[in-house]
Amino acid sequence: MEYVADLMRALKYRTGVSNKALMVEWDLPKNVVGEIVTEASRIVRAELTDHDRVISKITVALDRVIDDAIASGDNASVVKAAQVWAQVSGAGAPQRVELHQDLAALSPEQLAARKAELLARLTAKPADPPFEVIEVKALPPGGEE
């Protein structure tokens, strides 16, 4: 089972193809190989969705990136990796959100325009620093202060 999980982790496992190869290599029936593959898949999925494990892997990778960037004098990469590290670890500065409009009062056209604007902001290349500080303000019904 661990062998199959290792194949999956390395992205070398191919559904259908790998099953048949393992049946021949191990001289096992299809249902037994299927059970092994199913359990290996559960193990790998659990690893990939374990929040603490994911954070650990990301921070280890970022540690290597930072060390390599420092060694090569690439200060921009050091700063970027440190910003990502802070964001992933929760050590970054908190973000504030500002609500300007009562969305329920907008027409379908206005909602579509607002959606396009927000999507553009989400997909835009981040500015330096990567976070925009905006003020949060609750408005009463009707959107008037």
- What is the pLDDT at residue 118? 80
Residues 66 and 88 in one domain: yes
Number of domains composing the chain = 3
What torsion, rounded to 10 degrees, do the Cα atoms 118, 119, 124, 126 define? 60
**Separation of alpha carbons 58 and 72, rounded Å:** 21
Do residues 135 and 96 make contact, with C-beta atoms less than 8 angstroms apart?
yes
One domain, residues 57 and 82: yes
Same-domain pairing of 104 and 75: no
Q: Determine the Cα–Cα distance for residues 13 and 43; give it in Å rounded to an integer.
A: 14
Span 93-141, pLDDT tens digits: 666 666 666 777 778 888 888 888 887 877 766 555 555 555 555 556 6
Q: What are 55-99's pLDDT values in tens digits?
A: 888 888 998 999 999 999 888 888 888 888 888 877 766 666 666
93: its two tokens? 């500065």
If asked whether residues 43 and 8 sit together in one domain, one would say: yes
- Check whether residue 109 and residue 63 sit in a common domain: no
- Residue 69's domain spans which residues? 51-92
In this prediction the pTM is: 0.44
